Amino acid sequence: MSTDPYWNHNTHYHPWILEQVPAHARTALDIGCGDGLLARKLATRCDAVLGVDIDENVLATAPSAPNVHLEKADFRDLDDTFDMVTAVATLHHVPIRDGVAALRHLVAPGGTLAVVGLWKMHPLTDIHYLPLIPAIRGLDWWRRGRRGGPGATVRDPQETLAEIRAVAAELLPGARIHRRLMWRYTLVWRRPR
């Protein structure tokens, strides 16, 4: 039974993200961390977790937790590297090429990048997604009593999945991208040692 304070289309993927954490990971970074819920979960697997967000109001709602440090920053300005880097519903807040290039630099050799993202859907290119809608509606209904979120800033995605795939193929060779339920894609990339 989850002890999360709420469920939404992003927290739905927290278990998937935790599965991607490499066994050797000591440090983790969550970009666009909001109220730090994922950062606190990463701290159960890593010794030191940094969460960054450009919105100080949402950061102010975050409870403190051992081994978790949250700060106001644009992830594109960071220059450390981390064994695990996560981005949930945040990459589409910046131009895709800038964002992916910045994320690539933040992953330590042997580290992992896990992205849960949104893309700009089009009825023609995303027609295969339509049969998933009843399942999404079903999950929304099943979780209706726990729906909630951090009150973070949201933005409509500007890039198609084809555009995201093209940038990832160039900057993150070997990245695996999959369309998922809840209007999300997942991307996982392991930086070679």
Q: Point out which residues bind ligand SAM (CB under 6 A).
A: 10, 31-34, 52-55, 58, 74-76, 88-90, 93-94, 149-150, 152-154
- Compute the least distance from the CB of residue 33 to ligand SAM, in Å: 6
Residue with Cβ nearer ligand SAM (32 or 111): 32
Q: How far is CA 74 from the centre of its chain?
A: 15
Which residue matches tokens 């051992």? Answer: 66
Question: Quick one: 133 exposed, middle or buried, by C-beta within 10 A (0-12, 13-18, 19+)?
Answer: exposed
Between 96-106 and 161-171, two packed helices, what is the crossing angle to 10 degrees? 40
Residue with Cβ nearer ligand SAM (12 or 165): 12
- Compute the least distance from the CB of residue 113 to ligand SAM, in Å: 15
77 contact partners, CB below 8 Å, separation of at least 6: none
- Compute the least distance from the CB of residue 123 to ligand SAM, in Å: 24
CB-CB contact of 19 with 39 (8 Å): no
- Compute the least distance from the CB of residue 171 to ligand SAM, in Å: 17
Residue with Cβ nearer ligand SAM (25 or 33): 33
Residue with Cβ nearer ligand SAM (93 or 190): 93
